[in-house]
Amino acid sequence: LNTATEGSYAGAVEIVSNAAPSPYVFSVVGEVASESLVGDLNGDGVIDGADLGLLLAVWGTSNQDADLNGDGVVDGSDLGVLLGLWQ
């Protein structure tokens, strides 16, 4: 789906096993989102003061959205990443 447009997609996958008396079918649902911008915490397409405010609001937590360097804690390293990407 690397060329899919943004939106929701659903489908089915059929798994056939010689050990099973009948095929097993399960549904697969996925969401193709627009490409996100690292540091754009509010999703408006710009890294600015609004994103800084969101980062500071969760300072010292393990908030995954604001943990920009992925080390498990929102801290000065994440602030450095955000400021380095500031637009």
Tell me the per-residue pLDDT of 42-57, one tens digit each, with 9 for 90 and over: 988 899 999 999 999 9
Residues 54/38, Cβ–Cβ less than 8 Å:
no
Tell me the per-residue pLDDT of 7-33, one tens digit each, with 9 for 90 and over: 666 666 666 656 666 655 555 666 655
Q: What is the largest CA-CA distance in the chain?
A: 60
For the chain, the average pLDDT equals 80
pLDDT at residue number 20: 61
Boundaries of every domain in the chain: 49-85
pTM exceeding 0.75? no
Give the chain as a DSSP string: -TTPPSEEEEEEEEE--TTSSS-EEEEEEEEEPPPP-TT-TTSSS--SHHHHHHHHHTTTS--TTT-TT-SSS-SHHHHHHHHHH--
